[in-house]
Structure 1
Amino acid sequence: MHPTEPMPLALPTDNTWLDWVGRRGDDELARCQSLVDELKVSTPTSALDVLRLWNDAQVALSNAAAVGSLFAEVHPDKDVRDRAELVAQAVQKLDTDLGLDQDLYAVLARVDASGLDSDARRLLERTLRDFRRSGVDRDEATRSRLRELSEQGLLLSQDFSKNIREGVRSIRVRPEQLEGMPQDWIDAHPADGEGLVTVTTDYPDVVPFRTFAKDAEARRALVKEFLTIGWPANDAVLQEILAVRRETAALLGYASWADYDAEVKMIGNGSAIADFIDRITDLAAASAARDKAVLLERLRQDRPDATDIDGADVPHYAELVRKEQLAVDAQRVRTYFPFEAVRQGLLDVTGRLFGLEWLPVTDAPTWHDEVATYDVALRGRRIGRIHLDLHPRDGKYKHAAQFDLVRGVRGQQLAEGVLVCNFNRGLMEHDEVVTLFHEFGHLVHHVVAGDQEWVRFSGVATEWDFVESPSQMLEEWAWDADVLATFARNADGETIPADLVAAMRRADDFGKGYDARTQMFYAALSYDLHVNATTDLTGRLQELMGRYSVFPYIEGTHMHCHFGHLDGYSSGYYTYMWSLVIAKDMFSAFDRHDLFDPEVAGAYRDKVLAPGGRHDAADLVQDFLGRTYTFDAYAAWLAE
């Protein structure tokens, strides 16, 4: 280890988590405030020194924000989660106060950028833009109202998330209703004293049950529970969130929240989101109609009078089509993906691809005994630390995401990230393997881009509609037969056959059109609710589903109440598909017969990932591809 290398964050080694979370948050917030006070009272004469002092304040604020957002979602102790939420509230309050501080703004606005290098100038420009978007130039009454709205918005967001996190639902079924389920899943779900089996809406239950259970009534019952998580509470909470955002945008002079939010993204403005959604909808129309017809035809073999097919049946019949017509049996496929082997395989693959070493840290303190910790090294030097929290538990975040623990700053602090997922502890579905590769892509980005002078550019700091591209591209390695052969083996030690992987690829192509249309429904919902006020969210959901999805609404469901992206991504859920367009284009630079080509992989790591937010995403992609990105690769993939 280099003598000046920053050390990883010292986490608690005993039961003092409650005190540690509060102290870490409070200390970093106090440090931030002290540095800001110094900046205003004793302003340095050098432009660079002003920015460095501001950077130190932002480092402290980001440290407090990380501890609040992460541990509110993952700590097994509810008291710790609640304390972390208070930290997050304090972070939001200070961040809002800083953004509306006219004296602080005046200090930074006076900075002479003429002698700064390109990174420092970019930092100054982005910082001044942030102040303007906060409303610092508005009158006192407007600034006061913006402050109130910011604090109110955070509390509502926390309520929305908590209602999802703590809103697990379930059904109870007779053992014979488990027909079709994998035996290892059945073994893990014994009947209770009344002879019934509980199936929950957590992902390790709901995903395989929707896919494999033959009992249509039981599948529909579970899907309806899944699509009503957070209802009715989150219906009212979401209305308040949307109202806060509408008023905020109006006070800042924007026509809608979508225009405000899109201003700092690649897409640029709200109307372009609507145009993009319609473009993808049109591109996917033929493929979606073709594959839906195949599903409906297969459904009619079991229900001759069926006139349509909905989300309670789609996963099951898609699996039957893949098994019967495309020769892919997902239950056979999953036997090649025991969790421990997949996790190690992922580390081996990404290590080889990006030239990284993942070094287990067996004595690292963590918040739960299932969390695995690794130091990350590049060219023999430690560049970060990661924590993998990959299995479900009560009170934990219910989806899959990468969280910051520490944002890397050169010479000050080591980049640390946390991957939070909810996978089976036994055999994994291949879809789960793909998800793991995807989410791990964010973790790689966070660590590789952690060697930054300015915290503003550290980690996954590009425009928000680009951040999914590197992760979506990494999914390609989870579909390559040679890559999977390095770790995918069944209980008899047999490697997954290449012809099976080829069949899996063909089967995965089935449904991509209707999947794209479903994604555009989600994107349209995300956009429309932030542009057009409605008193009936469920009614608006039905209308948009009818326009963009090819599958009908399931009566009595309220999917928007557990659609967490309506909070985090607000009007920008389109970013997943926008990012996929770019991901497909970037992947075209790789040789499909040699996905580990060190020259291409190294260029991608150094030109796209390592810069973090130092350049616009479009420029990162152009530097890597040698040209502007296009829709061509995506359109060709969709048409295959």
Structure 2
Amino acid sequence: MTPPTPLQLPPADEALAWVRERTATGLAAARELVDGLRTDPPAEPEGVLRRWDEVTLTLSNVGAIAGLFSNAHPDLEVRTACEEAEIEVDKLVTELRQDRALYDVFDALDPAGLDPTGARLLEKTLEEFRRAGVDQDDATRSRLAEISERITAIDQEFSRNIRDDVRSVRATPEQLAGLPEDWLAEHPVDDDGLVTVTTDYPDAVPARMFVRDREVRRQVTVAFLERGWPDNEPLLKELFDLRHEYANLVGYSDWASYDAAVKMIEKGPAIPEFIDRIAQAAQGPMERDLAVVMERFRQDVPDAEAITSADAIYYEELVRKEQHDVDSQLVRTYFPFDKVRQGLLDVTGRLFGLRYEPAEDAVLWHGDVTAYDVFSTADGESGDGESLGRIYLDLHPREGKYKHAAQFTITNGVAGRQLPEGALLCNFNKGLMEHDHVVTLFHEFGHLVHHVLGGHVGWTRFSGVATEWDFVEAPSQMLEEWAWDADVLQTFATNADGEPIPADLVARMRAADDFGKGLQARQQMFYASVSYWFHTERPADLSRKQVELQERYSPYRFIDGTHFFANFGHLGGYSSAYYTYMWSLVIAKDLFSAFDPDDLFDVDVATRYRDRILAAGGTKDAADLVADFLGRPYTFDAYAAWLAR
């Protein structure tokens, strides 16, 4: 059998026709396969499931590239065509999952003759049919289909509004005092004697961290928080109402309960219980950290009773510099982008037994993108190894591109059938990077490694990051630990003179990071509460509810006249389940406890982790994957100990 080869992407001038042809061909092929399943299904249960998996693979091949290009392609016409393709795929998926005749084919299968993975696939398939309303009457199914199509369109418009709404603040060079010299050199003064600071991350993050002028920091923060408003507010209200209606029609009390039923947490009401558990655990650390920040803040603003995010980032940074002897501007001199990118490949290659080679034949959608073929080093460092997939790194901001950081699928891998391919879309500086952004890059690359290593399980449905959604962040959160280890960092983090980052500086960075974790945990619970209560209460006044939740959970006070929820992109994909970041972190801390902090590359532990967590994809429940690796069920203990120290 000829081994699968990577997908050949189109040149820029052929992308539009390629996307349209791929969409039309893929949808037609899926329909033809389904027609055969209805009229002449294979005799054996596994044969039926294999045919259905081919449908799933065909549709994922259309939807995945459309999802990537709609967020990354520089051509607006291509992005628009891809958004249309996403709607068409979602529409057909809904149609198929509501097809009673098709459901009956699967419902009649006897799982007794299937292996455990096949039986799991049958169970998941039947569940997806029922959650789509296959057992409802015609009118209800029709309404569910309408809702699904409209939700997809709203989510696209919501994301587009955030992506395209790049705001800016103009200030004199004197007002920007405190910013790094390399940042200032990249932002020349215009004809009016002013410098433009945009709300893109490479501008907004340094400005909020380093600018001494309080009014400029406030303006940048407000501009950042106002992205997507007012256009996104009515879209969100409609989205919450539609999701609630959908959940009710298929038998759930609210969207959060519907969404949680297929996650580790299982029940919607368990979400606020988890939020409050974390909030309570973080109460002491938050109060301790906040008292330190407020003491420093009052040195400059004596009458201050509270602090907002317009000042908090700056003063937390001051505390780290003055009390922990961590100067982020010095730290960033050890993290030039090119060295960080290569270091990331070297570290993950060593940890997971991988080799990355530049993909010379890859067609790139933009000049900033790089592509690598991924190989196993099981046959030795100099051996060819097994071809595992292809990755694309699109790591710098530009007009019309996705504004956050995430992994996007290009193809789902199926053993012997198709290689897994994926892309990272991020927004990092091309020069020096803040260490926080280095950590983010390691995190997001963790998703990409998971996608590639888990893309050889034999079934599309279980390929890659196909576990419960409240587990998918755990492997990436654990990989962040390698971006905090001095021995690891010294392999690539060097300054302009080639000197590696000092171990004592990394230790101080660790202590400084520990300083703010109580604040961060409570802020995360604020975000999680917005995600949950906006969906369950569907408040008429979103701003009012945001303020209420911010006062309850966040260490920072609300900034009058801002509308953070309008650019809270996770309300789209994560919907009511933003809690999953913290849920996953609890598990990530437990996973990391299996590693020896003095030997993070221990081959036995790393191999067991790679094979039992990452390479398993979604073939088992996440709790079982974790137990397979740890030798016991996961607990809250490691997270609680980390938070308390």
Normalising TM by the smaller chain, what interval? over 0.9
2:137 matches 1:139: yes
Measured in 2, the distance between the counterparts of 1:24 and 1:416 equals 17
Measured in 2, the distance between the counterparts of 1:386 and 1:190 equals 35
In the other structure, the counterpart of 2:79 is: 81
2:252 matches 1:254: yes
Q: Please give the secondary structure, in 2, of the residue aligned with 1:367.
A: coil
In the other structure, the counterpart of 1:471 is: 476
Measured in 1, the distance between the counterparts of 2:538 and 2:302 equals 41
Measured in 1, the distance between the counterparts of 2:195 and 2:213 equals 14
In the other structure, the counterpart of 2:428 is: 423
Measured in 2, the distance between the counterparts of 1:632 and 1:141 equals 49
Runs of 4+ off more than 4 Å: none
Q: What amino acid does structure 1 have at the position aligned with 2:458? A: E
Q: Please give the secondary structure, in 2, of the residue aligned with 1:175.
A: coil
Q: 2:406 aligns with which of 401, 424, 432?
A: 401
In the other structure, the counterpart of 1:8 is: 6
2:461 matches 1:456: yes
Q: What amino acid does structure 1 have at the position aligned with 2:529? A: A
Measured in 1, the distance between the counterparts of 2:24 and 2:239 equals 27
Measured in 2, the distance between the counterparts of 1:519 and 1:533 equals 20
In the other structure, the counterpart of 1:114 is: 112
User: C-alpha offsets along residues 439-467 of structure 1, whole Å, 9 cap, x if unaligned?
Assistant: 00000000000002110000000000000
In the other structure, the counterpart of 1:21 is: 19
User: C-alpha offsets along residues 538-597 of structure 1, whole Å, 9 cap, x if unaligned?
Assistant: 110000111111211110100000000011100000000000000000000000000000
- Structure 1 residue 361: deviation in Å? 1.4
2:528 matches 1:523: yes
- Structure 1 residue 13: deviation in Å? 3.3
Q: What amino acid does structure 2 have at the position aligned with 1:581? A: V
- Structure 1 residue 4: deviation in Å? 2.5
The change in CA–CA distance for 1:14 and 1:224 in structure 2 (over 3 A counts) is: closer
Q: What amino acid does structure 2 have at the position aligned with 1:590? A: F
In the other structure, the counterpart of 2:161 is: 163
In the other structure, the counterpart of 1:389 is: 394
Q: What amino acid does structure 2 have at the position aligned with 1:601? A: A
Q: Please give the secondary structure, in 2, of the residue aligned with 1:177.
A: coil
User: C-alpha offsets along residues 22-51 of structure 1, whole Å, 9 cap, x if unaligned?
Assistant: 112221111111100111111111111111
2:565 matches 1:560: yes
Measured in 2, the distance between the counterparts of 1:113 and 1:5 equals 31
In the other structure, the counterpart of 1:375 is: 373
Q: 1:189 aligns with which of 187, 190, 215?
A: 187
Query: Normalising by the residue count of structure 2, what TM-score does the alignment of the two structures yield?
Result: 0.98
Measured in 2, the distance between the counterparts of 1:593 and 1:178 equals 42
Measured in 2, the distance between the counterparts of 1:233 and 1:535 equals 16
- Structure 1 residue 362: deviation in Å? 3.0
In the other structure, the counterpart of 2:603 is: 598
Contact 2:38 2:102 in 1 (8 A): yes
Q: What amino acid does structure 2 have at the position aligned with 1:613? A: G
User: C-alpha offsets along residues 234-281 of structure 1, whole Å, 9 cap, x if unaligned?
Assistant: 000000100110100010110110000000000000111011000000
Q: 1:443 aligns with which of 438, 441, 448?
A: 448
Contact 1:24 1:67 in 2 (8 A): no
Q: Please give the secondary structure, in 2, of the residue aligned with 1:373.
A: strand
In the other structure, the counterpart of 2:637 is: 632
Q: What amino acid does structure 2 have at the position aligned with 1:524? A: S
- Structure 1 residue 156: deviation in Å? 0.6
In the other structure, the counterpart of 1:291 is: 289
Q: What amino acid does structure 2 have at the position aligned with 1:422? A: N
Contact 2:522 2:554 in 1 (8 A): yes
* Long gaps (5+) in structure 1: none
In the other structure, the counterpart of 2:628 is: 623
In the other structure, the counterpart of 2:356 is: 358
Measured in 1, the distance between the counterparts of 2:45 and 2:294 equals 66
2:506 matches 1:501: yes
- Between 1:244-253 and 1:42-51, the stretch displaced more is 42-51
- Structure 1 residue 297: deviation in Å? 0.6
Measured in 1, the distance between the counterparts of 2:168 and 2:19 equals 32
User: C-alpha offsets along residues 587-616 of structure 1, whole Å, 9 cap, x if unaligned?
Assistant: 000000000000000000000000100000
Measured in 1, the distance between the counterparts of 2:600 and 2:244 equals 46
Q: 1:243 aligns with which of 227, 238, 241?
A: 241
Q: What amino acid does structure 1 have at the position aligned with 2:564? A: M
- Structure 1 residue 14: deviation in Å? 5.0
Measured in 2, the distance between the counterparts of 1:495 and 1:308 equals 40
Measured in 2, the distance between the counterparts of 1:26 and 1:406 equals 17
Q: 1:543 aligns with which of 541, 548, 563?
A: 548
Q: How many residues align?
A: 638
Q: Please give the secondary structure, in 1, of the residue aligned with 2:642.
A: helix
Measured in 1, the distance between the counterparts of 2:458 and 2:48 equals 14
In the other structure, the counterpart of 1:334 is: 332
Measured in 1, the distance between the counterparts of 2:469 and 2:611 equals 20
Q: Please give the secondary structure, in 2, of the residue aligned with 1:61.
A: helix
Measured in 2, the distance between the counterparts of 1:421 and 1:533 equals 31
User: C-alpha offsets along residues 291-336 of structure 1, whole Å, 9 cap, x if unaligned?
Assistant: 1111111011111121111100011001100000100000000000
Q: 2:126 aligns with which of 125, 128, 134?
A: 128
Measured in 2, the distance between the counterparts of 1:614 and 1:267 equals 18
Q: Please give the secondary structure, in 2, of the residue aligned with 1:551.
A: coil
Measured in 2, the distance between the counterparts of 1:14 and 1:466 equals 36
In the other structure, the counterpart of 1:210 is: 208
In the other structure, the counterpart of 1:41 is: 39
Q: What amino acid does structure 2 have at the position aligned with 1:439? A: E
- Structure 1 residue 103: deviation in Å? 0.8
Contact 1:466 1:617 in 2 (8 A): yes
Q: What amino acid does structure 1 have at the position aligned with 2:200? A: D
Q: What amino acid does structure 2 have at the position aligned with 1:141? A: A
2:583 matches 1:578: yes
- Structure 1 residue 93: deviation in Å? 0.5
User: C-alpha offsets along residues 46-91 of structure 1, whole Å, 9 cap, x if unaligned?
Assistant: 1111111111011001111101111100000000000000100100
Contact 1:25 1:67 in 2 (8 A): no
In the other structure, the counterpart of 1:55 is: 53
Measured in 2, the distance between the counterparts of 1:187 and 1:362 equals 33
Contact 2:207 2:217 in 1 (8 A): yes
- Structure 1 residue 534: deviation in Å? 1.1
Measured in 1, the distance between the counterparts of 2:620 and 2:145 equals 30
Measured in 1, the distance between the counterparts of 2:194 and 2:35 equals 62
Q: Please give the secondary structure, in 2, of the residue aligned with 1:15.
A: helix
Contact 1:168 1:229 in 2 (8 A): yes
Q: Please give the secondary structure, in 2, of the residue aligned with 1:162.
A: helix
User: C-alpha offsets along residues 145-165 of structure 1, whole Å, 9 cap, x if unaligned?
Assistant: 001100111111111000000
Query: Normalising by the residue count of structure 1, what TM-score does the alignment of the two structures yield?
Result: 0.99
Q: What amino acid does structure 2 have at the position aligned with 1:335? A: T
Q: Please give the secondary structure, in 2, of the residue aligned with 1:43.
A: coil
* Long gaps (5+) in structure 2: 379-384
Q: Please give the secondary structure, in 1, of the residue aligned with 2:193.
A: coil
In the other structure, the counterpart of 2:223 is: 225
Measured in 2, the distance between the counterparts of 1:233 and 1:172 equals 24
Q: Please give the secondary structure, in 2, of the residue aligned with 1:343.
A: helix
